[in-house]
Amino acid sequence: MSLSHLGKALVPCVVYLLVSAANLQAEDWPQWRGPSRDGLSRETGLLQEWPADGPPQVWVSKNCGIGYSGPAVVGDWIYLLGSREGTEKLLALDAKTGEERWFADIGDEYENDWGNGPRGTPTVHEGQVYAMGGQGTLICADAKTGKIAWRKSMQELGGKTPTWGYSESPLIHGDHVIVTPGGKQGAIVAINRTNGDLVWQSKELTSGAHYASVMATERNGKSELVQLLVDKGVGVDAATGQLLWKTPWPGRVAVIPTPIIKDDYVYFSSGYGVGSKLVSIDDQYNVEVVYDNKVMKNHHGSVVLVRDHLYGHSDKVGWVCQEFSSGKAAWREREALGKGSVTYADGRLYCITKDEGIAALVEPSPEGWKEHGRFTLAPLSELRKKKGRIWTQPVVSNGRMYLRDQDLLYSFDVSTQGADLVRN
């Protein structure tokens, strides 16, 4: 072939590569459930089908300590919590290699028959990392060095450690860190993120701490914080902590899933037979119940809203696709995959089962379960307690999927390029 002909033949290939590169978009995962705390990644350029044995494994870090904390990913840094030798720690790892960069002690290890150690995901913001241990100690540390700037216990704010440990992931809102100590002094608090001083405490709310994490929204030009407590869903003024609205919630045993917000609607779900509820909030903070049913009884694997439908696992029902506006079930799938957690990225649901550690790639479609590959996580942790399970939710960031089983953190390349994504 002549050089001129070769050049002409290569033109379509070059164009394809340029278009593919232009379609790539990487995104950090700096906190619980991703950039917007909704379990959705805006990342593109990811595999739409997995090979028979799953996506390529990049590395396994084997000394993350025990616990259920998920990773926060910012650039080449990973932050997560784990307990080693009886002390809970904030860990920083190299995202390219899995090697540990530093650790900072949080406090004594939380102990429970279902698994010791911390539960929440760290939050990374403007060079600082905010993290809460299972005993309720909140710390702020330098993201590059691990040096602790301040610490605050939920007990000094009137809180009491819930049955399965403090599991909340801190929310950064403006200059404040928002967490839920629970208790008679006020269930929700705002803490100065620079020095750890208390800014306000929502004294109108006295419910004990459970396990959901706070969300933020805007209404009437005012910042609002939304939380699901054991007995009510609430919205409070982000500037003062004043109660703006509330709706009853019959929480049982453990209220865990994070609320989902879309426009003027707030969606709640929890397990132990409770179900799901959608409410609308008007400009005067009046609450209207759109539906209240048992279609989605999500225990702790979270629910994601993709376009007009919700996806998640419902206790004793299986995986469910629920229409957001009506609450009706589009479909239920009991046999395809066991109970587990879900995250969304680039047109696919990333699921992992709590018992076997089966990871599955599923197309979110109201027409039914459409699977595009699966594999079984291996090796599994030998440190997990008998009652413990794989409860850490999948994270997808910068072309990698991260899965955790206690002391083991796995990194898989799920990009179509088989390399680091190009940041747009």
Residue 77 to residues 54, 95, 97, 102: CA-CA distances in angstroms?
24, 5, 10, 11
Calpha distance 297→313 (Å, rounded)? 7
Q: Is pLDDT at 76 greater than 50 in this prediction? A: yes
* pLDDT, position 23: 60
Residues 400-412, mean pLDDT to the nearest whole number: 98
Query: What does pTM read for this prediction?
Result: 0.93
Fold of 67-209: Methylamine Dehydrogenase; Chain H (2.130.10)
Domain spanning 215-294: which CATH class is it, in words? mainly beta
* pLDDT, position 418: 74
Break the chain into its structural domains and give their ranges. 47-62+311-319+331-424, 67-209, 215-294
* pLDDT, position 92: 98
Residues 218-232, mean pLDDT to the nearest whole number: 96
Closest residue by Cα to residue 357 from 341, 370, 335: 341
Between 208 and 421, residue with greater pLDDT: 208
67 touches 82 (CB < 8 A) = yes
Centroid of chain to Cα 196: 24
pLDDT one-digit tens code per residue, 145-193: 999 999 999 999 999 999 999 999 999 999 999 999 999 999 999 999 9
Residue 4 pLDDT grade (very low, low, confident, very high; cuts 50, 70, 90): very low
405 touches 396 (CB < 8 A) = no
Centroid of chain to Cα 7: 48
Calpha distance 169→179 (Å, rounded)? 8
Calpha distance 223→345 (Å, rounded)? 27
* pLDDT, position 220: 86
Residues 90-104, mean pLDDT to the nearest whole number: 98
pLDDT one-digit tens code per residue, 127-139: 999 999 999 999 9
pLDDT one-digit tens code per residue, 319-330: 999 999 999 999
Please enumerate in sequence order all residues whose Cβ is within 8 A of that of 395, keeping only pairs 6 or more positions apart, or say none: 29, 34, 70, 71, 73, 343, 401, 402
pLDDT one-digit tens code per residue, 8-21: 433 333 333 333 44
Vertex 53 angle, CA 48 and 55, to 5°: 45
Residue 3 pLDDT grade (very low, low, confident, very high; cuts 50, 70, 90): very low
* pLDDT, position 24: 64
Vertex 45 angle, CA 42 and 49, to 5°: 110
Q: By percentage, how much of the chain surpasses pLDDT 70?
A: 93
Count Cβ atoms below 10 Å from residue 284 Cβ, excluding itself. Answer: 8
Between 242 and 10, residue with greater pLDDT: 242
Is the fold of 47-62+311-319+331-424 the same as that of 67-209?
no
Calpha distance 215→266 (Å, rounded)? 10
Strand partners, 340: 353
**What string of DSSP letters covers 70-86?**
PPEEETTEEEEEEEETT
Calpha distance 418→69 (Å, rounded)? 27
Please enumerate in sequence order all residues whose Cβ is within 8 A of that of 398, keeping only pairs 6 or more positions apart, or say none: 26, 27, 28, 43, 73, 75, 95, 420, 421
Residues 31-52, mean pLDDT to the nearest whole number: 97
167 touches 131 (CB < 8 A) = no
For the chain, the average pLDDT equals 93
251 touches 239 (CB < 8 A) = no
* Exposed e or buried b per residue across 220-243, where buried means at least 16 C-beta atoms within 10 angstroms of its C-beta: eeeebbbbbbbbbbbbbebbebeb
pLDDT one-digit tens code per residue, 292-313: 999 999 999 999 999 999 999 9
Peptide bond between residue 56 and the one before it cis (omega within 30 degrees of 0): no
> 33 — alpha (psi -120 to 50), left (phi > 0) or beta?
left
Strand partners, 73: 29, 78
Which architecture characterizes domain 47-62+311-319+331-424 according to CATH? Beta Barrel (2.40)
* pLDDT, position 2: 41
